[in-house]
Amino acid sequence: METLSDNTYTGVGVSPGRIIGSVRQMPKAVSEPPVGERLTHETPEAAADALRTAAKSVQASLNERAAGAGGAGREVLEATALMAADPMLIKAAVKLINGGASAERAVWEAAASVAEMLHNLGGYMAERATDVFDVRSRIVAELRGVPAPGIPRSDTPFVLVAEDLAPADTATLDPANVIALVTSTGGPQSHTAIIARALGLPAVVAAVGVTELAEGTRVFVDGATGTITVDPGAAEIQAAADWLRTMAALADFDGTGRTLDGHLVPLLSNVGGAADAVKAAAAGAQGVGLLRTEFCFLDRDTEPSVDEQVAAYRGVFDAFPGKKVVLRTLDAGADKPLPFLTDASEPNPALGVRGYRTDFTSPGVLERQLSAVALAAEGSDADVWVMAPMISTAEEAGDFAALCAAAGLKTPGVMVEVPSAALTSEAILGRVAFVSLGTNDLTQYAMAADRQLGPLAALNTPWQPAVLQLVRLTVAGSIAEGHRKPVGVCGEAAADPALAVVLVGLGVSTLSMTARALSAVGAVLASVTLERAQGLATVALAASSATEARAAVRAQLPILDELGL
């Protein structure tokens, strides 16, 4: 995360790939309305109405963009759209307008106060501050009658460079125009990183100094090593060409995950709706390892009906007839607040009522969702498994299994995202049929490091030996009385080909990832035997740091350099 020389910058590589292109800098943010700007000819009532109209227009625009997006992009846009009409933001701005402030200045100051409050809450809620500032800029632009801030337009493909990208921008990136992403801030689990991986774009975050690069500067971006080279030479040009050829070859993934000696490791996909599922099936996914059901609930003031949920889930199930589809029940709370289910005033939402815990405060929503899942499964040929997020104890796992049984669902499981679940996996697996490791949250909670913060990027990586130990302990707990229950990984760690090898070596039985990562992970797994993977897992566990673990494993997997991964 420093400048290496006059022509090379380094940050955190978050999405592999080697690409050469010209820099386009993200346009500067909307300018701040003058401090003390007052109403002139408008009455406070008219200014307040103009503000509400602008906010609704911004919300409608974001929802329209969400409708055309898919998966993680859609989720991000819908969450940002909710913030555009947030009652707390609007109420605070109207109060300032009634005190004589202009609508632009009022929403600017109100957003600053809301963002500060969210930032002070920490964890996931701190991430929402980014959404507040994004929405603020869009509302001010709407009030001024000027275009909303966004990704620059260009007739030719380019490398997008920015301090950071707003969620609404990352969610609508067009890979035909933006061929790589570079930001000077952000972390490995930021919106930018997650969307880049989903789109298959080479990306580097936390690369200090890159925002000083001049427009049109030709650069070589290596998303695996995290380096950006200005004025690339023959070696970089060759590396980029080789990577493009490799990607074309990897597109021929045969749909079966296995090691060199034939040990089967089903490669599944993470999806956020039917459109994602269809694309994942076309990419060769052997099933769905994580169906995020939030897409049914976001941007609503009321709970969706059972019939609405049935239709949505069946669209995913039908894309994978005869194959496994693992559905995660509603993971509301923290960065996904729902007005009918969660309490926005919690002092620390990341450690509050989220996921399965919402059943403590709002009983009935989970039972109705499970009923909808069962009804959707009855009309489908998919092998439907169901898991609950944010399970901390064996007692919770048992209670969830009972709810599944009551609904007629035969394969209950839980997410292992909380360290206590990893440490007590044997007891938990005594109550359910399987577990799936959510490495994004497991890492965040194990390392006590907000996954959105660039300065904590070194801590917030699943290569941390402590996190790998939690994976090992989870697998160890899956073996009881000679019978082994499945342990999958559905976090971003599964999409890292080198880490995928380590996870298989630790005993993980399935890997679920963005569909674009399937071919690369499949190719690297196929290059090693199970015994070799186990040896590399031992190497990673013995390392004293995440950096050492990653470097030691990658040094023994030369195929990664060959493939530009």
- Bridge-based pairing state of the strands 287-292 and 324-328: parallel
Residue 489 has phi, psi (to 5 degrees) of -130, 125
- Among 41, 191, 296, 483, which one carries the catalytic annotation? 191
Rounded CA gap, 432 and 486, in Å?
A: 10
What residues contact 290, with CB distance under 8 A and at least 6 apart? 268, 270, 271, 326, 328, 436, 490, 512
Rounded CA gap, 382 and 289, in Å?
A: 13
Rounded CA gap, 510 and 490, in Å?
A: 9
Do the beta carbons of residue 5 and residue 229 sit within 8 Å? Answer: no
Rounded CA gap, 310 and 454, in Å?
A: 39
How many C-beta atoms lie closer than 10 Å to residue 251's C-beta?
10
Rounded CA gap, 428 and 474, in Å?
A: 10
DSSP three-state, residue 254: coil
Nearest 5°: the CA angle 100, 102, 106 is 90
- Among 263, 404, 483, 490, which one carries the catalytic annotation? 490
- Bridge-based pairing state of the strands 203-205 and 218-222: unpaired
Closest CA to 403 of 430, 372, 442, 424: 372
DSSP three-state, residue 538: helix
User: Is 191 known to be catalytic?
Assistant: yes
β-sheet bridge partners, residue 264: 258
Nearest 5°: the CA angle 328, 344, 119 is 100
- Bridge-based pairing state of the strands 479-480 and 383-388: unpaired
Catalytic residue ranges: 191, 490
